Amino acid sequence: MGRIPEHVIEQIKESNDIVDVVSSYISLTRKGQNYWARCPFHQEKTASFSVSPSKQIYHCFGCGAGGNVINFVMTYEKITFPEALHSLADRAGISLEEYTYQLSEEEKSISSQLYELHRLAIDLYRKALKSPEGKTAREYLIKRGLDDETLNTFEIGYAPEAWDTLLKAALMKKFDEKLLISSGLVTESERKKKYDRFRNRIMFPVFDIRGNPVGFGGRVLTGDDQGAKYLNSPETPVYHKSRILYGLHKSRDAIRKTDKVLIVEGYMDLLQLWQNGFTNIIAGSGTAFTPDHARIIKRFASKAVLCYDGDEAGQKAAVKTGLI
Ligand code: ZN
């Protein structure tokens, strides 16, 4: 994490009134100039925990806990200083993007090239979905009830059957072969022959929270439901599965507004619910739910509803997720 400058930290404090923030966790009662509650940091019967709106601090006369709004969130949520800053910045709509990672110039250019390559792939796959070779994929999506608006919103596409659709297009655009391999979109045989990882699949692009395309989930079209239905991009310099939630770049505002997030298992579940008006929704992406995922969600909503399959595997996953 890059260093967040002092003036931004001040701005975050100023934009998060301590009474608002504390009362989103515990209920406060006004007495005189200050607000009072039973202390959340020690056991007590009478209220000795006070919050001062004029000084923007809290103090407990019982256990001595005290500090500003950032200290409160850190202590209450048991999170680190940078995590508390991010949470409060999100709450106030302050962007910390430029401080989030301190990338070297070289890393920056690799990330932006990877985004560009994924953009190229998305455009290619979307075009293919609308072409004659995408017919079976289109029919499948229609059968599952998805309309054009949903498919366009999430930029769903189709990876053609050929071994080199993306490879050829990327080389023509002068993308470096090493970059193609590190993106995971192109793989290499033992004999060093390069080919597209995703072929004859419905393609679900995965975006980071800022809306940069970072990976794909590809669903098989044909045949046996026995094998794995999905193939996902591998971990790459821009695709960290434990920190990416599918759909979040589109749903974050609705999640914040409703203070509630619906968590579903798959891309398809998400699209169907989205289309039916449930836009405060996310899905895991190529991995099980992680504590990092839970932390990200907590920044946006205090309530999470798990909508997993009714089958045994789904219920087990739901129990596991609920425990995080
Ligand atoms: Zn106390």
Indicate the pLDDT class of residue 2, thresholds 50, 70 and 90: low
Q: Could you tell me the distance, in angstroms and rounded to a whole number, from the CA of residue 28 to the centre of ligand 1?
A: 14
Q: How many CB atoms lie within 10 A of CB 11?
A: 14
Q: What is the pLDDT of residue 224?
A: 54
Measured in Å, residue 51 CA sits from the centre of ligand 1 at 12
Q: What is the pLDDT of residues 177-236, one digit of tens each?
A: 999 999 999 999 989 899 999 999 999 999 988 789 999 999 998 755 556 788 999 999
- pLDDT, residue 103, reads 55
242-261 pLDDT, tens digit per residue, is 889 999 999 988 998 898 99
Mean pLDDT calculated for residue range 18-34:
92
The beta-strand segments (E) located in the chain are 29-31, 34-37, 49-52, 57-60, 66-67, 157-159, 186-188, 194-196, 201-207, 213-220, 230-232, 260-264, 281-283, 303-307
Across the chain, mean pLDDT equals 88
Distance 61 CA to ligand 1 centre (A): 7
Which pLDDT belongs to residue 3? Answer: 76
Ligand 1 ion: nearby residues, β-carbon < 5 Å: 39, 41-42, 60, 62-63, 65
In the reported structure, the alpha carbon of residue 29 is separated from the centroid of ligand 1 by a whole-number distance in angstroms of 16
Region 154-162 average pLDDT: 97
Helices 81-92, 69-77: crossing angle, 10 deg rounding: 110
